[in-house]
């Protein structure tokens, strides 16, 4: 793998004494500004520790950053159209639905709600499009995936650049701060929830966050609540698990979702994107109840279905983008960010994709219809998995994606409890751009790009889950 380097913002390594000194400052800054998480190993609700972060902002090419920013409204609208094209969703997902129970359950809810008559035609999307740079092509942007549910870290990564700025000043390099872009992801994402609340337009209505049993990423979630409360003091926010929603809500005769005597205006899912979050039929019943209601869902279930890997792969097929977007320059700009994406359906093209991957497994990633990290298959395991699934319908639950080879950057990863000073390590960064959209099939009320996040992982890790300790929150330094 030829992976050249992007130059760091400062000459590295830092001298040891300086490094130890600024890390202590950075950690305290982080703790005192909510760059934190709850500890999975020694869980204690009263204790928040630093979220893993990168000490100095990581380099990212400015032109590619701007390209991602400019494309976001285009991608928002594309996904909105995809989500409202029933026939396309059905055709695209049909084979995966046969073998993927989770996606099938979501799809069944969608069918049920449609057959009963949709009681809320507005959807709210708080999206995040993720990218790696493809080094062999000259460090151009390639889309990793498009998240339509529970897109996280908008809040923490809105605060983090201020830490990087503080550290740069402490190191006597305040002049470099001009290369760090503003990030207003938190207020932008919250503005979407507030606008949806206003469109719902019912006095006394409330906002409901659907949360996990235990929220480890509590800072990121709570900041949304604080921000909304500050901007709109009258808006009450509840946090409930799907099981609590099952027990504590009901639909009234107007199909309003009633919680604690209040109609729910907006349901914001920070949970509900993976099978483990539906341990019993109660959670599915709760999801169905919410989807039947007049509440504006973030995301609505068809937005969630449009966010599947299978849809991402289908969009890369010949003529598909043109069907949704026409054949103008926007279409070719979107096509440019796609990397090779292949169906593994049980047909001729699926067969060809299997052959191609078996011949050169290292070139690909195998992805199931899952969210939240840790589900993909890499390297030689791609060959093992495809050999095992070759003659089984199970393979239709996956897509095959060309592996993106990002450039390396050097940096210091700061993790809770890790020895100080940490080694200078090779890292790779993944950029996420946040978007907000609100609309019905016929009309889009708002559509904008609202901010970014950078997540950086050890270069030799396949994935960079922040909670898993392989990834860390970061800020871009534009080159």
Point out which residues bind ligand ADP (CB under 6 A): 130, 132, 144-145, 365, 367, 370-373, 375-376, 401, 403-404, 430, 463-464
Calculate the CA 345 to chain-centre distance: 26
Considering the complex, state which of residue 411 and residue 471 has its C-beta at the smaller distance from Mg ion.
471
The answer to whether residue 145 is catalytic is yes
User: Quick one: which of 382, 381, 378 has its CA closest to 355?
Assistant: 382
Considering the complex, state which of residue 263 and residue 299 has its C-beta at the smaller distance from ligand ADP.
299
- Binder to Mg ion among 120, 147, 313, 410 (CB under 5 A)? 147
- Distance (Å, whole) CA 301 – CA 110: 6
Instruction: Count Cα atoms within 13 angstroms, Cβ side, for 69.
Output: 16
Q: Nearest approach, Cβ of 147 to ligand ADP (angstroms)?
A: 6
Q: Nearest approach, Cβ of 226 to ligand ADP (angstroms)?
A: 26
Residue 376's binding partner among Mg ion, ligand ADP, none (Cβ under 5 to 8 angstroms by kind) is: ligand ADP
Residues in the interface with Mg ion (CB under 5 A) total: 3
User: Quick one: which of 19, 471, 419 has its CA closest to 10?
Assistant: 19
User: Quick one: which of 288, 204, 286 has its CA closest to 244?
Assistant: 286
Residue 375's binding partner among ligand ADP, Mg ion, none (Cβ under 5 to 8 angstroms by kind) is: ligand ADP
Residues in region 344-373 near Mg ion by CB under 5 A:
371
Does residue number 308 form part of the binding site for Mg ion (CB under 5 A)?
Answer: no
Considering the complex, state which of residue 407 and residue 432 has its C-beta at the smaller distance from Mg ion.
432
Tell me the chain's radius of gyration from C-alpha atoms.
22
The answer to whether residue 172 is catalytic is no
Residue 463's binding partner among Mg ion, ligand ADP, none (Cβ under 5 to 8 angstroms by kind) is: ligand ADP
Q: At 99, list the tokens.
A: 């073998």
The answer to whether residue 415 is catalytic is no
The answer to whether residue 350 is catalytic is no
Does residue number 429 form part of the binding site for Mg ion (CB under 5 A)?
Answer: no
Considering the complex, state which of residue 145 and residue 474 has its C-beta at the smaller distance from Mg ion.
145
Of these residues, 27, 38, 128, 289, which one is catalytic?
Answer: 128
Considering the complex, state which of residue 132 and residue 337 has its C-beta at the smaller distance from ligand ADP.
132
Of these residues, 309, 370, 383, 457, which one is catalytic?
Answer: 309
SS3 labels along 86-127: HHHHHHHHHHHHHHCHHHHHHHHHHHHHHHHCCCCCCEEEEE
Q: Which residues, in sequence order, are CB contacts of 180 under 8 Å at separation 6+?
A: 57, 161, 164, 165, 475, 476, 477, 478
Residue 464's binding partner among ligand ADP, Mg ion, none (Cβ under 5 to 8 angstroms by kind) is: ligand ADP
Q: At 34, list the tokens.
A: 């909510």
In Å, the largest CA–CA distance within the chain is: 68
- Distance (Å, whole) CA 285 – CA 148: 22
389-424 as b/e, with b when 16 or more CB fall inside 10 Å? beeeebbbbbbbbbbbbbbbbbbbbbbbeeeebeeb
Q: Nearest approach, Cβ of 430 to Mg ion (angstroms)?
A: 8
Of these residues, 142, 239, 292, 367, which one is catalytic?
Answer: 367
Q: Nearest approach, Cβ of 204 to ligand ADP (angstroms)?
A: 37
Considering the complex, state which of residue 149 and residue 264 has its C-beta at the smaller distance from ligand ADP.
149
The answer to whether residue 372 is catalytic is yes
Residue 401's binding partner among ligand ADP, Mg ion, none (Cβ under 5 to 8 angstroms by kind) is: ligand ADP
The answer to whether residue 455 is catalytic is yes
Of these residues, 225, 291, 371, 430, which one is catalytic?
Answer: 371
Q: Nearest approach, Cβ of 306 to Mg ion (angstroms)?
A: 13
The answer to whether residue 182 is catalytic is no
Considering the complex, state which of residue 155 and residue 265 has its C-beta at the smaller distance from Mg ion.
155
User: Quick one: which of 408, 387, 385, 403 has its CA closest to 457?
Assistant: 408
Q: What is the DSSP letter of 415?
A: -
- Distance (Å, whole) CA 42 – CA 218: 15
| Cα dihedral 267, 193, 161, 180 sign | positive
Binding site for Mg ion (CB under 5 A): 145, 147, 371
Q: Which residues are catalytic?
A: 128, 145, 147, 152, 309, 367, 371-372, 455
């Amino acid at each position: 793998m030829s992976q050249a380097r992007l130059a760091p913002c400062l000459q590295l390594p830092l001298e040891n004494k300086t490094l130890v000194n600024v890390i202590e400052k950075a950690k305290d800054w982080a703790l005192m500004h909510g760059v934190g998480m709850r500890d999975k190993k020694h869980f204690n609700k009263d204790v928040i520790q630093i979220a893993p972060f990168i000490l100095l902002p990581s380099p990212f090419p400015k032109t590619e950053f701007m390209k991602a920013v400019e494309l976001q409204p285009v991608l928002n609208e594309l996904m909105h159209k995809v989500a409202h094209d029933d026939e396309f969703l059905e055709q695209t997902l049909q084979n995966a639905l046969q073998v993927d129970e989770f996606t099938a359950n979501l799809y069944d809810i969608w069918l049920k709600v449609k057959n009963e008559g949709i009681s809320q035609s507005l959807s709210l999307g708080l999206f995040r499009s993720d990218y790696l740079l493809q080094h062999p092509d000259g460090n151009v942007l390639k889309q990793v995936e498009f998240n339509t549910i529970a897109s996280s870290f908008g809040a923490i990564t809105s605060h983090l650049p201020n830490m990087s700025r503080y550290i740069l000043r402490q190191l006597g390099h305040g002049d470099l701060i001009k290369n760090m872009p503003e990030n207003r992801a938190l207020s932008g994402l919250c503005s979407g929830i507030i606008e949806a609340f206003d469109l719902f337009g019912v006095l006394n209505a409330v906002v409901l966050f659907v949360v996990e049993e235990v929220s480890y990423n509590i800072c990121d979630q709570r900041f949304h609540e604080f921000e909304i409360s500050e901007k709109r003091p009258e808006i009450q926010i509840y946090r409930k698990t799907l099981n609590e929603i099952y027990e504590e809500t009901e639909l009234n005769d107007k199909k309003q979702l009633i919680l604690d005597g209040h109609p729910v205006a907006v349901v914001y899912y920070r949970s509900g994107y993976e099978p483990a979050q539906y341990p019993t039929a109660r959670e599915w019943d709760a999801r169905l109840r919410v989807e039947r209601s007049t509440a504006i869902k973030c995301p609505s279930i068809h937005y969630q279905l449009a966010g599947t890997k299978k849809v991402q792969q289908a969009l890369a097929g010949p003529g598909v983008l043109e069907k949704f977007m026409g054949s103008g320059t926007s279409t070719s700009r979107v096509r440019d960010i796609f990397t090779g994406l292949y169906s593994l359906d049980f047909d001729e093209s699926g067969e060809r994709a299997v052959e191609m991957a078996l011949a050169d497994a290292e070139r690909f990633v195998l992805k199931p219809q899952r969210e939240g990290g840790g589900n993909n298959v890499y390297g030689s395991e791609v060959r093992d998995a495809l050999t095992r699934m070759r003659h089984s319908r199970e393979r239709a639950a996956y897509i095959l994606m060309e592996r993106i080879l990002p450039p390396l950057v050097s940096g210091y990863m700061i993790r809770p409890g890790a020895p100080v000073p940490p080694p200078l390590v090779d890292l790779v960064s993944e950029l996420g751009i946040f978007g907000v959209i609100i609309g019905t099939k016929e009309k889009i009320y708002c559509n904008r790009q609202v901010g970014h996040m950078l997540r950086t992982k050890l270069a030799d890790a396949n994935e960079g889950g922040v909670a898993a300790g392989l990834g860390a929150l970061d800020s871009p330094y534009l080159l």
